[in-house]
Structure 1
Amino acid sequence: MIKVLLVDDHAVVRMGLKVLLNGVEDMEVIGEASEGNEGISKALETNPDVVLMDLSMPHGKDGLSATSELIKQLPEVSILILTMHDDEEYLFRAIQAGASGCVLKSAPHQELIDAIKSVRSGNAYLHPAATKRLMEEYLGSLKQDGSDEYKLLSDREVEVLTLIAKGYSNKDIGEKLVISVKTVETHKSNLMDKLQMKTRPELVSYALKKGLLGYGI
């Protein structure tokens, strides 16, 4: 059962999401909040698997600030940003804040359900148009600035980074590379230190930037 917390300032939106998600066999809405500070408190109280976080909440803490704060206090939670803004600036800021992905409020119901399941499994999720724009932006940035910490990574760390970005769990990575889960965790910790990153979505974005998911630079 995937435990979901809803954080949105519109009661009608929360009601609709609650009805939708509680109708899915393996999902349950375990709490609601109307702004970021309340969302953080509810998350610490209920320990959800996934938080659906509205981006724009005019009263109280906004979604990006709440996401950044919540990730610090509850690093295992997956946060999926709900937004009306189909704009790369918001997407970049959401990822930088530690969100596992973004879904447009206009998206079909099944896309939202799939997105929740995806981030719950440890993957990052962006709607298709956003993925294309992020890829173009990151690859463009790379061409402008070739100096980064990538050269500090060992070949094995690059392999681990690539598999993490493709959505493999630590156990799956260990099996593919014929190494222990503990060794995988060590490589992951080392590469995150070298890249100065703290979350899986950051690693996914970086791997995309470096062309490790199959896109050329």
Structure 2
Amino acid sequence: MTPIKLLIVDDMEAHRRRLERCISKEKDMQCIATANSGYEAVLKAAMHQPDIILMDIQMENQLAGIEAAKEINKNLPDIKIIMLTVHEDDNIIFAAFQTGIVDYMIKSATDSEIIKGIRAAHDNLSPIRPIIAEKIRNEFKRIKSKEESLLYVIRMISDLTTSELEILKLLCENKTRKQIAKIRCVEQDTVKKQISSILKKFNMANTKEVVNTLQALKIFDVLKTL
């Protein structure tokens, strides 16, 4: 039986040695090389063509492992990469998965969990781990909420009159009511009534709330083109 060939990448020798000892106990696995930086990982992946890479994230820089994984997956897509790191930050996890890695394990995982993860990756059966599943669910909720908010705001904008839309754009440019009245050559009472209409259509209490909502959804640029 051909053993599973592994490349271990970590800038801490103690961690590399631990993984080497863990793998050496398995008859169907072989550590064919080690690396201590993302740069070296890319070189040794090309040289040795491992089946699986156990990759740390923070090495010569904070995201060295992610940068290396991206390069390896681009040029050697058949190599499966497991991130083995101390990081649990949502942004780092999503950045890692965007490179095409197959699994993400915390370094405190037991030897048996690491071995199980290696075999699962080799058999294309890597699970979505609870920690990852929760973060993915939260991200979907965030995206869904943002999409719903965006659709709501777009509907509200479409209900505005031409004059109200012009005033909204000026409010987004931090213009005061007095300045808006002067720019539009109208009385301040007219501007006040139109702002009241805008707030009613958005169902919001004040102009600051409206502007903050538009800013959060990043549609200022859209408004500028209208």
- TM-score > 0.5, shorter chain as reference: yes
Larger Cα Rg: Structure 1 or Structure 2? 2
Deviation at 1:145, TM superposition (A): 2.9
For 1:191, the equivalent position in structure 2 comes to none
Deviation at 1:140, TM superposition (A): 3.5
Considering Cα pairs closer than 8 Å and 6+ residues apart, tell me whether 1 or 2 has the greater RCO: 1
For 1:103, the equivalent position in structure 2 comes to 105
Give 3-state SS (helix, strand or coil) of 2:109's partner. coil
Deviation at 1:124, TM superposition (A): 3.9
Deviation at 1:58, TM superposition (A): 2.5
For 1:141, the equivalent position in structure 2 comes to 143
What stretches of structure 2 of length at least 5 have no aligned partner? Answer: 151-226
Match of 2:20 among 18, 22, 28: 18
Q: d(CA) in 2 for partners of 1:85 and 1:145?
A: 29
% identity of equivalent residues: 31
For 2:122, the equivalent position in structure 1 comes to 120
Match of 2:67 among 65, 68, 71: 65
For 1:53, the equivalent position in structure 2 comes to 55
Maintained 8 Å contact 2:57/2:63 = no
Deviation at 1:33, TM superposition (A): 0.5
Q: d(CA) in 2 for partners of 1:11 and 1:59?
A: 17
Question: How many residues end up aligned between the 2 structures?
Answer: 147
Q: d(CA) in 1 for partners of 2:85 and 2:28?
A: 24
Deviation at 1:144, TM superposition (A): 3.2
- Bigger drift between 51-60 and 73-82 goes to 51-60
For 1:84, the equivalent position in structure 2 comes to 86
Maintained 8 Å contact 1:102/1:125 = no
Q: d(CA) in 1 for partners of 2:55 and 2:36?
A: 10
Deviation at 1:110, TM superposition (A): 1.4
What stretches of structure 1 of length at least 5 have no aligned partner? Answer: 148-217
For 1:29, the equivalent position in structure 2 comes to 31
For 1:2, the equivalent position in structure 2 comes to 4
Give 3-state SS (helix, strand or coil) of 2:78's partner. coil
1:75-108 Cα deviation digits (max 9, x unpaired): 1110001110122211101001221110000112
For 2:77, the equivalent position in structure 1 comes to 75
Maintained 8 Å contact 1:54/1:81 = yes
Q: 1:67 to 1:145 in 2, by over 3 A?
A: same
Pairwise CA RMSD: 2.1
- Bigger drift between 70-79 and 126-135 goes to 126-135
Give 3-state SS (helix, strand or coil) of 1:44's partner. helix
1:34-92 Cα deviation digits (max 9, x unpaired): 10111111111111110001010036981000000011110111000111012221110
Give 3-state SS (helix, strand or coil) of 2:82's partner. strand
Q: d(CA) in 2 for partners of 1:37 and 1:112?
A: 24
Kindly provide the amino acid, as one letter, of the partner of residue 50 in structure 1.
Answer: I
For 2:165, the equivalent position in structure 1 comes to none
Q: d(CA) in 1 for partners of 2:94 and 2:75?
A: 21
Deviation at 1:19, TM superposition (A): 0.7
Kindly provide the amino acid, as one letter, of the partner of residue 138 in structure 1.
Answer: F
